[in-house]
A = this chain, B = another copy of it.
Amino acid sequence: MAQDLVIGIDVGGQTAKSGVVDARGNIIAQTVISTENDVTADSFVSALAEALNRIVAESKAEGRIRGIGVGIPNGNFYTGMVENAVNLKWAAGGNLPFAKMLQEQMNGIPVSLTNDANAAAMGEMTYGAARGMKNFIMITLGTGVGSGIVINGEVVYGHDGFAGELGHTCAVRHNGRQCNCGKTGCLETYASATGVARTAREWLEMSDEPSSLRSLDVIKSKNVYDAAKEGDALALRVFEFTGRILGEKFADFIEFSAPEAIVLFGGLARAREFLEEPIMKAMNENVIPLWRNKVKLVFSSLKESDAAILGASALAWEL
């Protein structure tokens, strides 16, 4: 039978989502397993392989799987290793030959992996908003800020396999916020879901401007979004500020690789109504005239629950 299907797997700190995907990007079977209880890599890979075999059987896909693509934090495309993934308990921060381990458990079906943002870029290029584009930059706005850079139709991996850490480029040079990476002022300390909540909390602390956010014990980005929806002036300014910071950095990114578009994805990208205008304004004010009003800002059209699986599956078509 023709090998007309692939498997996409999105591995995160809490769960691993897997799906059997056809060439049109339909997920014909899917499953989710927890990654929290596994304490060793072997037990996690075994549990994952078992889950995959179940959805392969379910979708009558035996013998039809061309390859398996995995989006995983700290995944190195070149080596198939997961390196220093401190957020994956079973990986224990070490270096694991994850692709090789999974391939062995899956009877030799080839496995390719990369980090989640690169997988998202592949997904947009294969099935989503970047279809037909050869040069674009994918920015994922979630807990942090991830990025996948596509040049000439190919994801940029760089010398060591880890290119595209745009969330850690410098947004604020002096007195910037402390980032988990150890630096200060990184883009993701401002322009992620976490960053939005942090901005709101900082600003509430710094003035006594009235805001509906003051009544909350804990402020998350969703609260800021809801407040902005209701016209809360402080919440609206938080998004304007966030959009400006993003737009300023996007201008630098454009000057690097002259992309056709910047594609936004992730939880925070759902605040499009508040982010799009300030991003475009700052991006066009800060880029050289050559690219002013020429680079598109595109919001992902993939369903969020499917996008991670689709992105990872797109890797497998190249195998």
Contacts from A to B (Cβ < 8 Å): 134-135, 149, 151-152, 154, 156-166, 168-170, 172-173, 181-183, 248, 251-253, 255-260, 286, 288-291, 294
Distance to closest chain B CB from A154 (angstroms): 7
- The interface residues of chain B lying within 8 Å CB-to-CB of A259 are 158-159
Apart from A149-B256, A169-B252: 5 A-B pairs, beta carbons within 8 A: A135-B159, A151-B151, A160-B291, A164-B258, A181-B288
- The interface residues of chain B lying within 8 Å CB-to-CB of A173 are 172-173, 248
Given A152-B154, A156-B257, A160-B258, A165:B290 Cβ within 8 A: yes
Cross-chain contact A289 with B169 (CB below 8 angstroms): no
* Complex Cα gap A290–B257 (Å): 22
Can you list 14 A-B pairs, Cβ within 8 angstroms, ordered by A? Answer: A151-B158, A158-B257, A158-B258, A159-B260, A160-B258, A162-B291, A163-B256, A163-B257, A164-B256, A165-B255, A172-B173, A173-B248, A181-B289, A256-B256
* Complex Cα gap A61–B102 (Å): 58
Partner of A183, one of B160, B168, B286: B286
- The interface residues of chain B lying within 8 Å CB-to-CB of A149 are 256-257
Kindly report which residue of chain B lies nearest to residue A134, judged by CB atoms.
B159
Cross-chain contact A252 with B170 (CB below 8 angstroms): yes
* Complex Cα gap A159–B165 (Å): 21
* Complex Cα gap A160–B257 (Å): 10
Oligomeric state, in copies: 2
- The interface residues of chain B lying within 8 Å CB-to-CB of A160 are 258, 291, 294
Kindly report which residue of chain B lies nearest to residue A182, judged by CB atoms.
B289
- The interface residues of chain B lying within 8 Å CB-to-CB of A165 are 255, 258, 288, 290
Cross-chain contact A255 with B183 (CB below 8 angstroms): no
Given A135-B158, A152-B154, A253:B256 Cβ within 8 A: yes
Kindly report which residue of chain B lies nearest to residue A136, judged by CB atoms.
B159
Cross-chain contact A255 with B169 (CB below 8 angstroms): yes
Cross-chain contact B256 with A170 (CB below 8 angstroms): no
- The interface residues of chain B lying within 8 Å CB-to-CB of A258 are 156-165
Distance to closest chain B CB from A213 (angstroms): 27
* Complex Cα gap A54–B63 (Å): 67
Cross-chain contact B183 with A288 (CB below 8 angstroms): yes
